[in-house]
Structure 1
Amino acid sequence: MAEKQFIQELVTKDHFNRYKLNQLFKTLHENPKIIQSMTSPFEKKPWSFYRDYFVTSERITLGAQYLKAHHRVLQEMSKKYGIPASIIVAIIGVETEYGAHLGKYPVLSTLYTLGFYYPPREKFFRKELAQYLILTRDNNLPVSSIKGSYAGALGIPQFMPSSYRHYGVALEKNAPVDLFNHNDAIASVANYFHKMGWAPNQPVTYRLSSNDESIHAKGVGHVTLPLKQGAEYWATYKNFRVIMSYNHNVVYAMAVYQLSKKIEQQYAKNNREAKSRTMSS
């Protein structure tokens, strides 16, 4: 019944072909693995595990290389939107390891499963399924074969379909947005953060020396990150919350921030070493 109503709305509101939708839905079935992944998400791991997984020497090295390889577009988007290039790179690094791992779950099947067999958030995922169907139709994308995350996010920056449609930016004018293209992915992440209210040249977070230290100012938050022994204490600012709009977990935002700083350092170090080699040759 719910499926019939969903199809009816797409036909009425979004001018889909009823026969084609019915044929497509006949191929879809619940995927229990998706439900299992949703009930034990990676972001629920403790900070020490999350940090050691994402803020690694390999990801830092690859991030510095990515910053160099896409330097022109990154600087262009950073200047246009006011978002640090290293933050854009870190988001892409955490999400897909710079485009190397785009996900293994068919997006259509994933969103269908979550939209019709996952009651806690079925309303949200049903909306995303509709957005995905509109996106693939309007951008002439292969609806059945695109793969993404277990939550239905897709492309290099892992946007949900609604974000793809509303925040996606094509670097080339009059071209469709292609989030499997690095230039469009970079532009779209920058645009997303801009629309979410990123404050240029303002702090993200600041590590406190102890739980007793605090910063009393408007808009400043405080987070505690438990470690295997002890804990880390941080003051957080508006831009930290902007990162959390991308993924609502504190450990995610902190991993992005720390990775961005490490990438900046590695990139600067690489440039110094290259300059030194040039001068000595």
Structure 2
Amino acid sequence: MPQDKPWKSALLRLAGAAALAGALTTWSLPAQADAGFNRFVSEFWPTARAAGISSQTYNAVFSGMQPDDDTLRLMSKQSEFVKPIWDYLDSAVSDDRVEKGRKLLREYEAVLRQIEARYGVNREVVLAIWGMETNYGGYMGRHNVVQALATLAYAAPRRKSFWQQELVTALGIVQAGHVRFQDMEGSWAGAMGHTQFMPSSWKAYAADYDGDGRRDIWTSIPDALASTAAYLNKHGWQTGKTWGYEVELPSGFDYRLADGEQTLTLGEWSRHGIRRTNGRDFPRPSDDAIIVLPAGASGPAFLMLRNFFVIKRYNNATAYALAVGHLADRIIGGGPLEGDWAREYVPLSRSETEELQALLNRQGFTVGDVDGQVGPATRRGIRAYQSARGLVPDGYASAVLLAHMKVDG
């Protein structure tokens, strides 16, 4: 990689630790150095020192470093369009990823069995997260994590304290010897290793599966998988239970019950006429569940259990958690989803969502601030509008709904 040379030279300078113990002003900076970034690094030193970072580590890591241009570019990029969930799932749960997952399930059977016994998390779910995050280690990011986090701590317009804390934690990981600085690769935003932990998550949840004293999520697949299981376990994974069920809703179903908050047992949902798509009974009718309609009333429906929301602690997106659960099921022999996606009901971009919110406010279905985010208030406003206009009140913000509202005035 282009960044390797200055990092390697920095590591060589570790051999002369005594020389590095001096002030940061001893650096030899390139002629094209970013003066603002260099000033940030100099001024951040007291914070790092207070957190226990040595001058040797600090100087060796930062000597010659410049901001990560790719992080700067992606940090300021606003994603205007939302990928439809059906396209997301087609990619995330591809046949290739399913087949590779099945192969790795066999290859790491002993490790995964021990991890499942230790943490109580279904082995196929751990494997599915590995597949989702890095395609089973195929792409873990090509950014040095410290450089990316330093760039964000320096230049990000928001959450500076968050990025600074992640930076200090990353420096501590390097200093403790869990990973070599040049091997600390991850995403442009600092997510690291096979299963993409932020430094703070690594500090809180990473596991040393093989007992070598290092929690190595970069080069030790067992450590990475155990760390993922430990994370899910600590966030409330219910051992022996699944993430959810694809279901069929009865004709005349009251969609006000599908508000994403109404919790009933599976037995109680059954009394509302809801059935599994494969015709089987729910194995534990006493389990609590919430109806989730990822694409509104015109797409597949699901009853989601607690474990679905634990997966969302890993990545707080319904599409992500559904993909993890579905990929896990496919890896152990399950088939494709049975419901069809009504692909004309495409989700809205941020600017389109702002337009929708403005129309709802103007027509008396108050949703609060026009911020382009579909939160609970916006979904309630959509349901109120849909009910008032004789539409299915599923609360789903789609291009079809926006077009209807424009005509409606």
TM bracket (short chain)? 0.7 to 0.9
Q: Which moved more, 1:63-72 or 1:6-15?
A: 6-15
Measured in 2, the distance between the counterparts of 1:71 and 1:42 equals 42
Whether 2:247 is the aligned partner of 1:217: answer no
Q: Give the CA deviation at 1:175.
A: 2.2
Aligned 8 A contact 1:114 1:121 in 2: no
Deviations 1:230-273 (A, max 9, x none): 3233232211111011111111111100000000107xxxxxxx
Alpha-carbon distance in 2 for matches of 1:150, 1:49: 24
Higher relative contact order (CA closer than 8 Å, sequence separation 6+) = 1
Are 2:339 and 1:260 equivalent residues in the alignment?
Answer: no
Give the superposition deviation at 1:72: 0.4
How many angstroms apart in 2 are the aligned matches of 1:148 and 1:187? 18
Instruction: State, as a whole percentage, how many aligned pairs show the same letter.
Output: 27
| Contact kept? 1:43, 1:50, Cα under 8 Å | no
2:147 paired with 1:109: yes
Q: How big is each residue's C-alpha offset from its partner over 1:6-34, in whole Å with a ceiling of 9 and x where there is no partner?
A: 310211231421x6525643533333422
CA distance in structure 2 between the partners assigned to 1:165 and 1:4 by the alignment: 25
Q: 1:5 to 1:235 in 2, by over 3 A?
A: farther
SS in structure 2 at match of 1:222:
strand
1:28 pairs with 2:95? no
Q: Give 1:173-252 correspondences, 5 Å limit.
A: 173-179=211-217, 180-210=219-249, 212=254, 216-217=263-264, 220-226=289-295, 230-252=298-320
Query: How much has 1:174 moved relative to structure 2?
Result: 4.7
Superposition deviation, residue 145 in structure 1: 4.7
Query: Residues 78 and 140 of structure 1: is their aligned pair in 2 closer, same or farther, counting only changes over 3 Å?
Result: closer
Instruction: Specify whether residues 140 and 159 from structure 1 end up closer, same or farther in structure 2 by C-alpha distance, changes over 3 A only.
Output: closer
The CA distance in 2 between the partners of 1:29 and 1:134, in whole Å, is: 20
From 146, 150, 157, the counterpart of 1:119: 157
Q: CA deviation at 1:4?
A: 4.1
Shift of 1:142: 2.5
Report if the CA contact (8 A) 2:178-2:215 is conserved.
Answer: no
- Conserved 8 A contact 1:107-1:144: no
* Cα 1:34–1:182 shift into 2, 3 Å: same
Q: How does 1:124-135 map to 2 (within 5 A)?
A: 124-135=162-173
Question: Is residue 101–residue 331 contact of structure 2 (8 Å, CA) maintained in 1?
Answer: yes
Matched to 1:107, the amino acid is V
Q: Tell me the SS of whatever aligns to 2:113.
A: helix
What is the rounded CA distance, in whole Å, between the counterparts of 2:238 and 2:156 in structure 1?
36
Task: Give 1:100's aligned residue.
Answer: 138
Is the contact made by 2:53 and 2:171 (CA closer than 8 Å) also made in structure 1? no
Cα gap change, 1:42 to 1:250, in 2 (>3 Å): farther
The answer to whether the 8 A contact 1:43-1:251 is kept is no
Q: How far apart are the structure 2 equivalents of 1:90 and 1:41? A: 26
1:37 aligns with 2:74: yes
Q: 1:31–1:41: structure 2 CA closer, same or farther, 3 Å change rule?
A: farther
Helix, strand or coil: the match of 1:80?
Answer: helix
Give the AA of the match of 2:293: T
Taking structure 1 as the reference length, the TM-score comes to 0.84
Quote how far apart the aligned CAs of 1:42 are: 11
Give the whole-Å Cα distance in 1 for the aligned partners of 2:147 and 2:244. 38
* C-alpha distance in structure 2 between counterparts of 1:241 and 1:176, whole Å: 30
- Kindly provide the CA deviation profile for residues 169-188 of structure 1, in whole angstroms up to 9, marking residues without a partner as x: 11223521111211111211
Q: Match of 1:278?
A: none
Q: Kindly indicate whether the alpha-carbon contact (under 8 Å) linking 1:95 and 1:158 is maintained by their aligned counterparts in 2.
A: yes
1:67 aligns with 2:105: yes
**How many angstroms apart in 2 are the aligned matches of 1:40 and 1:261?**
33
**Secondary structure of 1:130's aligned partner:** helix
Please state whether the residue corresponding to 1:217 is helix, strand or coil: strand
TM (normalized to structure 2)? 0.59
- Aligned equivalents of 2:125, 2:80: Cα separation in 1: 21
Q: How many residues align?
A: 265
Q: Which runs of 5+ in 1 are unaligned?
A: 267-281
Which of these two proteins has the greater Rg computed from alpha carbons? Answer: 2
Q: Which amino acid aligns with 1:148?
A: G
Q: Secondary structure at the match of 1:113?
A: helix
Matched residues in 2 for 1:64 and 1:40: separation?
Answer: 36
TM superposition shift of 1:191:
0.9
Structure-2 change in CA distance of 1:192 and 1:102 (3 Å): same
